[in-house]
Amino acid sequence: MADKSSDLPLTRSSVKAAHEAIKEYIHCTPVVTSQTLNHLASRPQAPEALIGTAFEGQRPACPKINLFFKCENYQRIGAFKSRGAFHALSRLSKEQLGQGVVTHSS
């Protein structure tokens, strides 16, 4: 397993570096949205839902929420797991890789 003490902080540059390490092994997958789910998630609460809370008597919020879904089911294996697996393998030394790799997914 890769040494976690050498993990990079989660930054834009570390994400770009991870992408560079795995891009030849993965498919570019689309990001989609759903108007139905956006509508359901953006539905305001009824004023009665605020009774007994610190917000009682106030106008309920009217959120505008847009949900985005990364379609990793379009990867060759049908899951997002390939990204993490390829990234983890790319961080192993030749010596570690030479010892073999065992994985498990539930």
Residue 68 CB neighbour total at 10 angstroms: 9
Of the candidates 14, 34, 81, 93, the residue annotated as catalytic is 81
Among this protein's residues, is 106 annotated catalytic?
Answer: yes
Q: Can you tell me the distance from the alpha carbon of 91 to that of 42, in angstroms, rounded to the nearest whole number?
A: 41
Q: Which of 37, 32, 21, 13 is nearest to 84 (CA)?
A: 21
Active site residues: 81, 106
